Chain A
């Protein structure tokens, strides 16, 4: 049997988390097929076929798939489910919304948000916001799995030449209509995939003071994050939130500024490769996960930090 991975895309490009999910899926079984459900998405089909880990692309093209609606995707996926031992996708808002609907209709107990493939039926997944790890074995004959994208490397995107098979569309729901999507545009790297993230917390004291963070982010070509406290206080919009209820990030460098390090924030960043904490409270829990802690007033430290960075001429972009 083979693995069927559901691709996330915008009809123009594959979303990067799908590439991470491809890596995980290929560890379950090398016979990996990708189902692309979209409209006028031939470019996406082609780019998926060039991913060396992908053995086949099933391309379902219909105007009903112009926008992603979980109900429509579900009927599309169920048409193909029989032939596969595993149905998988990324555990972001795309896959979290979709996979349980499929699993329920197949009467499968889904395994959510895996961070490691131990065997084709056994996986490691975080529970309690990453404060415990569970090794779980699925005893369902078929498995429905979602994959935490930041726990797997992105798959190579060139060199492959998988077959693209056109497949027919499925039923359309009349009960859900797409209205609109407000995408937040930014020149900065995306929070979920940035190499460096600098985050601000309640210590910033105001939205205006986030400029101190922005200046350093510009210099380091970093994404900007925030604690839930900073978001709740209205300093910054919620798409910047890092934590259990926001985004989980795993950058090479995470700089936490004025963030105390509540459990819920740590859950979103503690897997980062190098963590820096700048906080005036030396007892703040953030220091317990920091590789480098600086006990200092951020209003003095951040401008100095920028100055020191300006002295270096080797900042990697």
Chain B
């Protein structure tokens, strides 16, 4: 069984982002970048399945600018076998990314595609479901547990009401939630080894996919700030304020 894992390079989740003054976006120069956190869970799960002898090959793919390759390299260091970097010059919408990934799936014929449930930059939560739609494959989103069966997966999903379990026939798309597993750190020897693993470079423009934006970003701005509150000296004062001033209890 072959697993394709899609990863995205985003601003590190610990960074307090800054909005550009001209409203055109957020500052990314000299800002720490990392793999989108739930994409790490996607890679980890693929590696665990391979370690359990149920997968033969893991391919990590990213769609992004030159430096996005770092994200693929990191996936190789924790256990992916080879990488694919689809080079693009601009930020693509999930619809375009899903069309590119469809081309990669058609080329590689994986049995499973894993990726994070959502990217923490644009917060769209679309790419996996869109890829599933293009391929007419079943989708299991927000996975917190995956059990590999003969020709199917049993996936437990985190939903608003609690947990839901579905069974999807393979080939299938799974989007991973943060509680699916605990992503491992790459060891130094594995980081060295990963440098020798192949990353195939593909230009998005060679794939014949329409990547033109459909959505105009008119303005990016800071959210309205909360006005500064006060410190209270005692529990008694707090309760009085909540009752008499805020009138919420």
Return chain A residues, CB-CB under 8 Å to B83: none
Q: Is A226 in contact with chain B by the CB < 8 A criterion?
A: no
Q: Is the pair B164, A103 in contact by a Cβ cutoff of 8 Å?
A: no
Q: Is the pair B214, A108 in contact by a Cβ cutoff of 8 Å?
A: yes
Among the listed B16, B166, B239, which residue makes an inter-chain contact with A177, where contact means beta carbons less than 8 Å apart?
A: B166
Minimum Cβ distance to chain B for residue A139 (Å): 5
Q: Is the pair B139, A96 in contact by a Cβ cutoff of 8 Å?
A: no
Q: Is B206 in contact with chain A by the CB < 8 A criterion?
A: no
> When chains A and B are docked, how far (Å) is the Cα of A127 from the Cα of B17?
10
Return chain A residues, CB-CB under 8 Å to B134: 104
> When chains A and B are docked, how far (Å) is the Cα of A103 from the Cα of B131?
11
Q: Is A7 in contact with chain B by the CB < 8 A criterion?
A: no
Q: Which residue of B lies closest to A96 (CB)?
A: B125
Q: Is B48 in contact with chain A by the CB < 8 A criterion?
A: no
Q: Is the pair A181, B133 in contact by a Cβ cutoff of 8 Å?
A: no
Among the listed B137, B159, B226, B246, which residue makes an inter-chain contact with A93, where contact means beta carbons less than 8 Å apart?
A: B159
Q: Is A187 in contact with chain B by the CB < 8 A criterion?
A: no
Q: Mark A51-69, 1 if CB is under 8 A from B, else 0.
A: 0000000000000000001
Report the interface size class on chain B.
35 or more
> When chains A and B are docked, how far (Å) is the Cα of A212 from the Cα of B52?
43
> When chains A and B are docked, how far (Å) is the Cα of A275 from the Cα of B229?
9
Q: Is the pair B166, A312 in contact by a Cβ cutoff of 8 Å?
A: no
Q: Mark B115-137, 1 if CB is under 8 A from A, else 0.
A: 00010111111111111111001
Q: Which residue of B lies closest to A228 (CB)?
A: B178
Q: Is the pair A181, B164 in contact by a Cβ cutoff of 8 Å?
A: yes
Q: Is the pair B123, A294 in contact by a Cβ cutoff of 8 Å?
A: no
Among the listed B95, B213, B223, which residue makes an inter-chain contact with A130, where contact means beta carbons less than 8 Å apart?
A: B223
Q: Is B150 in contact with chain A by the CB < 8 A criterion?
A: no
Return chain A residues, CB-CB under 8 Å to B238: 276, 292, 294, 305, 308
Minimum Cβ distance to chain A for residue B109 (Å): 17
Among the listed A134, A238, A282, which residue makes an inter-chain contact with B219, where contact means beta carbons less than 8 Å apart?
A: A134
Return chain B residues, CB-CB under 8 Å to A71: 138-139
Return chain B residues, CB-CB under 8 Å to A176: 138-140, 166-169
Q: A109-B215, A139-B216, A312-B249 are in contact. Are A100 and B120 (CB under 8 A)?
A: no
Q: Is the pair B26, A128 in contact by a Cβ cutoff of 8 Å?
A: yes
Listed from nearest, the 9 A-B pairs whose CB atoms lie closest are A109-B214, A100-B129, A104-B133, A104-B130, A100-B126, A291-B229, A179-B165, A308-B239, A304-B235
- A residues apposed to B, CB below 8 Å: 17, 69-71, 74, 92-94, 96-105, 107-113, 122, 125-140, 173-184, 192, 196, 220, 238-239, 244-245, 247, 252-253, 263-264, 270, 273-276, 282, 287-296, 301, 304-305, 308-309, 312, 314-316
